Amino acid sequence: MLGRNRRDAGQAFPIYIVMVAGLLFLAFAFFAVGQASATRNGAQGAADAAALAAAQEARRGLGPDLLLALREPNGLNEFLAGHQYYEAGRGRAMQLAYDNRSDVIDFGWHLGYWQDAVTARVKTKYTVGDSVVPGMEEKHATATATAVIEFRCGPKVRDLPGAGGDGAGGEADLPIVTLVCDGQKVPIDLGDSDPLAGLSELIFAVHLIDD
């Protein structure tokens, strides 16, 4: 009996080794999946930050053109239909991607009427790292995000007399234009030195959308 038990134990030992090796491999494989997931999440975070930063930067540049449009009878419609962004926000997007250890590899604007969108695609500077999965140690992650600038107001509803009135056709004669933004009346005094002070975020919303 003693000899048989020893033989059984000797036969079982290799099975234990195989089982332990298999469990270790599974543990490393799950760790590799976690590494890859973390890298993808990092890329997505960098893309989100880049797209949002580009849209916010572009929104800050809309003021002068919007004010010119409000001075014309049909200027607002022409502004919404024909405004061009070109490379607006690209530098800011690249900076935010860099801050998140990534590079912008594609960037572009998609223009609509009430809503314009900017898309940033990024690639991480870092890789997944050492892994039991062949080739993963050299693999970078990429991700894409799109942010929009949304005009939140309806057409201008009326022109009120300006705050001044020297009768000489100067800035004091410019009207107060009222927009209705999400149901809220927003008067814009075109004769003011900074007519859009504090109003840009109310007039133009910026947010991410699903690709």
Mean predicted confidence (pLDDT) in 96-101: 96
Q: What is the pLDDT of residues 81-96, one digit of tens each?
A: 888 998 999 999 999 9
Residue 190, domain member (yes or no) = no
Pairing state of beta strands 184-189 and 204-209? Answer: unpaired
In the chain, how many domains are there? 1
pLDDT attached to residue 73: 84
Residue 165 lies in a domain: no
R_g of the chain computed on alpha carbons: 30
The full DSSP string for 115-155 is EEEEEEEEEEEEE--S-SSTTGGG-EEEEEEEEEEEE-B-S
> In this structure, is residue 181 part of a structural domain?
no
Would residue 163 count as lying in a domain? no
Residue 106: inside a domain, yes or no? Answer: yes
Structure confidence by residue, pLDDT tens digits, 22-68 = 555 555 555 555 566 778 889 999 999 999 999 999 999 999 999 99
Mean pLDDT (whole number) for 87-112: 96
More confident residue, 200 or 173: 200
Residue 174, in any domain of the structure:
no
84 within a domain of the structure (yes/no): yes
Residue 176 placed within a domain: no
Tell me the average pLDDT of the chain: 81
Q: At what angle do helices 90-99 and 2-60 cross, to 10 degrees?
A: 150
| CA atoms lying within 13 Å on the CB side of residue 43 | 23
The parent domain of residue 73 ranges over 2-150+204-209
